[in-house]
Structure 1
Amino acid sequence: MRPEPQPFQLVPGAAGSPVLLHVPHSSRSVPAHVRDGILLDDGALERELDQITDAHTAALAALAREACAQAPWQFLNGLSRLVIDPERFPDDREEMLAVGMGAVYTHTTFRERLRASGVDPQPLLDRYFHPYARAMTAAVDERLAATGRAVVIDVHSYPTTALPYELHGAGPRPPVCLGTDSFHTPPGLLAGAEAAFAGFGGTGLDSPFPGTYVPLKHYGKDRRVSALMIEIRRDQYMTEPGGPAGPGLKALASALAELVDGL
């Protein structure tokens, strides 16, 4: 039997860096016991993973880290978001419940059934979601203790053409979407990202995906924690859906490193 992949990993950076590059959706790994509860056949599951995975974002973050003058810290999800999505609220505050994509998905990107109706999400939340949240909270607390602040840069990608599950898919789809939070995204952080990614044909705000990730312990409470989500349109760096990375990956990593170095 294959060992279960590591659910998440904190990659240390420089002791004085406040930056955490958070990569939550880059993995395609689905443990066998989770696969048993998914209704899709193998081919359909692979096609869904092509659509839902933010392919190559872990590689992008790693390249950016190598290019930085002071290495940021990285927090990587080792499992597919089809196991749990660590960026969702685990309760009825989550707007994506409307399309079956809360912390534990019940539907696919094409609004088809992923899990049987009535399946209890609690075992997956207990085994994967809550430990992930605790570890990410601890990583932020460590940056606060070491540097007096923490900057969470959420690294994502999104498809060129809107998928049926998207709640805001009718809006603009810029080359780089910057997701913001009114409490946790200060003007200087946003301006730095706009400048760093200016060479990719323009950035946009909160469309098609708004907001950013902050642990619930700090969310709306601690201004020492700042955060920004970077959503890169996939035609900028890869063959869609689910194909190889192209030359744009290194250029985007350089832009991300420029942003981090400015923090």
Structure 2
Amino acid sequence: MNGTSDPYTLEPGDPVSPVILHVPHSSRTVPADVRNGIVLDDAALERELDHITDSHTARIAAEAAVQCAALPWQFVNRLSRLVIDPERFPDEREEMRAVGMGAVYTRTTHGEPLRPVDDPDRPGHPGVVTEQPLLERYFHPYARAMTDAVTQRLAAAGRAVIIDVHSYPTDRLPYELHGDGPRPPVCLGTDAFHTPPDLLAHAEKAFAGFGGTGVDSPFAGTYVPLRYYGTDRRVSALMIEIRRDVYMTEPGGPAGPGLARVAAALADLVETVTGTCEA
């Protein structure tokens, strides 16, 4: 699948670029058939989208990309994470399932019901299967396409650098399991295997002008396709989490002048990682 009408888009970059800007949570689009399985009314759904969407992050990635001498590749989720969250595990390994926010969300950011779930204690309840159709239709094709994009970068450039582009709210939301730590203007999520020290250092330098960067707080980790996870060091990865007050009106309002600064910093990071400018 590739195109604006599909659940995701791979925007081609320069053949020599190893960089994939991955934007999984920017969209507010919920297809009508998926909307039918959500128990929120229209107003409540819009409020939830305000909180859960990493608003304007696709624009940040796009504006950063065009500033680079070697255009990075962009893999963009065109559907809301309320459809599926491509960065979750679709099984019991995912701790976010404990708060109803695994690969298919069943709870909102504030812990309210989002979808009907199995309730064996309710008399006469036949059980509601909500996850598998969504996983088959959206999650697994997305994962395969992202895996293919990384494979292509490895073949063409000899390495792949995944930069996850995210944002997070200034104030902790109830669903956050590890939200009691620092909430810096820029949070850098790392992986012990896939985030080399130089990649982290380049990001800290690129975003130094925002009043502070932090590591793995309030959000940790980064996205790597399972085919390569923990086995192939040619795939490096870093998550960029921009605190939303840096560039937009919260919770789901318009972007402000800070967006251009964020995009420029991201472009600096991409340029350095790609090797098209002096470090």
1:3-82 correspondence to structure 2 within 5 Å = 5-82=5-82
Mapped pair 1:112 → 2:112? yes
Counterpart residue number, 1:259 = 269
Once the two structures are superposed, residues 25-79 of structure 1 have per-residue CA deviations (whole angstroms, 9 ceiling, x without a partner) of: 0000000000000000000000000000000000000000011111000000000
Consecutive unaligned residues in structure 1, runs of 5 or more: none
Report the AA paired with residue 96 of structure 1. M
- Tell me which of 148, 162, 165 is aligned to 2:158: 148
Once the two structures are superposed, residues 88-146 of structure 1 have per-residue CA deviations (whole angstroms, 9 ceiling, x without a partner) of: 01110001011000000000000000001223200000000000000000000000000
Counterpart residue number, 1:220 = 230
1:48–1:109 Cα contact (<8 Å) kept: yes
> Comparing 245-254 with 116-125, which one deviates more in the overlay?
116-125
Q: Aligned partners of 1:261, 1:229: CA distance in 2, in Å?
A: 16
Q: Aligned partners of 1:246, 1:9: CA distance in 2, in Å?
A: 25
Report the AA paired with residue 18 of structure 1. P
Report the AA paired with residue 27 of structure 2. S
1:80-229 correspondence to structure 2 within 5 Å = 80-118=80-118, 119-120=128-129, 121-229=131-239
Q: Aligned partners of 2:166, 2:6: CA distance in 1, in Å?
A: 20
Q: Aligned partners of 2:141, 2:6: CA distance in 1, in Å?
A: 12
Give the structure-2-normalised TM-score. 0.92
Consecutive unaligned residues in structure 2, runs of 5 or more: 119-127, 274-279
Q: Aligned partners of 2:40, 2:5: CA distance in 1, in Å?
A: 21
Give the structure-1-normalised TM-score. 0.98
1:30–1:83 Cα contact (<8 Å) kept: yes
Please give the secondary structure, in 2, of the residue aligned with 1:67. Answer: coil
Q: Aligned partners of 2:75, 2:242: CA distance in 1, in Å?
A: 18
**Identical amino acids, percent of aligned pairs:** 75
1:56–1:245 Cα contact (<8 Å) kept: yes
Total equivalences in the alignment: 260
Report the AA paired with residue 191 of structure 1. A
Q: Aligned partners of 1:164, 1:221: CA distance in 2, in Å?
A: 34
> Max radius of gyration: which structure?
2
Q: Aligned partners of 1:158, 1:103: CA distance in 2, in Å?
A: 19
